[in-house]
Structure 1
Amino acid sequence: MNEATKGVQRIASVIRVRPEKLEEYKRLHAQPWPAVLERLRASNIGNYSIFLHGDLLFSYFEYRGTDYAADMDRIAEDPITREWWKLTDACQERLPGTPDGSQWTEIPSVFFME
């Protein structure tokens, strides 16, 4: 069964964390703002995790909606999320090749087992 059949899109992405900001990034994510989490849930995002490997942050989430672009726009337009991003973006460094307008670099899926 593929992702479209199941109604789930699995999204993975990566970004570099600035070494001098690592502890701040961890502190922020130890207590994420409830309104940011509510906005993610309202935009059909679930099973969201961020992992750290060296200086790389690896993000994974599942999207269970029907209009990914519109839901991502709603997240980006949310004033509280934008304030959160001001704090977290300062801790991050975009990787070479990240598309304009994106903070994280999406990673294509090459294998999935259910």
Structure 2
Amino acid sequence: MNRYCFTLDLIDNEERIAAYKQYHQAVWPEILESIKNSGITDMEIYLSGNRLFMIMDVNDGFSFEEKAKADLRNSKVQEWETLMWKYQQALPGAKPGEKWRLMEQIFKL
């Protein structure tokens, strides 16, 4: 099993942040199914101010490339991502269209 950590910013607006949090209290079933079917075994998202931090545990069969391909074929995932992008903003240094940025692990106890 592998663990990946990502970060992303929300648009710094109280109403948008509240709406984003509300959406994540009831994530669409199709999105949850897509996450699980890709080999992600656990996912948590934390918020501090407008900065998000995501921890993602995956099984040995997980592939970022295969998840991306499956997401492109899934209209509900595309709808969700388009909706979420209304609340999110790219981090400084992000490539065009890049959302969640993979973080480098620098310490482990």
TM-score bracket for this pair, using the shorter chain length:
0.7 to 0.9
Structure 1 distance, partners of 2:2, 2:64, is 9
Structure 1 distance, partners of 2:23, 2:58, is 23
State the match for 2:34 in structure 1: 39
Match of 1:93 among 89, 93, 97: 89
Task: Return 5+ residue gaps in structure 2 as ranges.
Answer: none
State the match for 1:10 in structure 2: 3
Task: Return 5+ residue gaps in structure 1 as ranges.
Answer: 1-7
TM-score, structure 1 as length reference: 0.83
Equivalent residues of 2:40, 2:62 under 8 A apart: no
Aligned residues: 106
How far residue 108 of structure 1 moved from its aligned partner, in angstroms, is 1.2
Equivalent residues of 2:38, 2:62 under 8 A apart: no
- State the one-letter code of the partner of 2:44: S
Indicate the RMSD between aligned Cα atoms, in angstroms.
Answer: 1.5
- State the one-letter code of the partner of 1:81: V
Structure with greater helix share of residues: 1
State the match for 1:5 in structure 2: none
1:112 lines up with 2:105 in the alignment: no
1:82 lines up with 2:78 in the alignment: yes
Equivalent residues of 1:36, 1:80 under 8 A apart: yes
How far residue 66 of structure 1 moved from its aligned partner, in angstroms, is 4.6
Equivalent residues of 1:9, 1:62 under 8 A apart: yes
Q: Give the % identical residues.
A: 25
How far residue 101 of structure 1 moved from its aligned partner, in angstroms, is 3.9
Match of 1:56 among 51, 55, 59: 51
